[in-house]
């Protein structure tokens, strides 16, 4: 026979169903996203590929990154020539450049600094040679005279 007893005041017993006892409580999701540590990829191009003293040069940077591009900055011979924010492409037109007529050309150095939204940086660089225009020598002697 069951024995009657009394519980202290404020305490009661509750019966739980067997279904409630067997369902586990889901574990909290403590997974943090993996931080972006990958630098953006950048393609640099110049046009024309073989500039002369008569050509301005178009310098273009195309950038990609999963977190997005924060900024692109183009430099020529160490000087900033264009800044692009929140864009995947940046273009600057530079030149034309002068070249001493006695030289074989002038080397122009260029660089791009690209940052993604996570702060990772890529800084590819390159150079191009500006060639002087060779003008043909004009013989101003009257027709019929020959050089010695």
- The reported pTM is 0.69
Tokens representing 42?
């950048």
Nearest one of 120, 64, 127 to 90, comparing CA atoms? 64
Q: How many residues does the chain have?
A: 148
96-147 residue pLDDT tens: 999 887 788 999 999 999 999 999 999 999 999 999 887 666 666 676 666 6
124 contacts 111 by C-beta, under 8 angstroms: yes
Position with higher pLDDT, 131 vs 16: 131
Predicted confidence at residue 133, as pLDDT, reads 81
């Amino acid at each position: 026979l069951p024995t009657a007893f009394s519980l202290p005041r404020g305490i009661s017993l509750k019966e739980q169903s067997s279904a409630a006892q067997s369902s586990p409580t889901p574990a909290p999701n403590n997974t943090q996203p993996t931080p972006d540590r990958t630098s953006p990829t950048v393609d640099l191009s110049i046009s024309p590929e073989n500039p002369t003293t008569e050509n301005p040069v178009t310098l273009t940077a195309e950038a990609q990154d999963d977190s997005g591009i924060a900024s692109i900055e183009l430099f020529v011979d160490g000087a900033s020539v264009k800044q692009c924010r929140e864009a995947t492409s940046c273009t600057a037109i530079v030149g034309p450049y002068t070249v001493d007529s006695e030289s074989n050309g002038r080397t122009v150095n260029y660089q791009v600094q690209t940052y993604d939204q996570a702060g990772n940086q890529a800084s590819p660089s390159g150079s191009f040679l500006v060639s002087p225009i060779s003008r043909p020598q004009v013989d101003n002697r009257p027709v019929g005279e020959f050089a010695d």
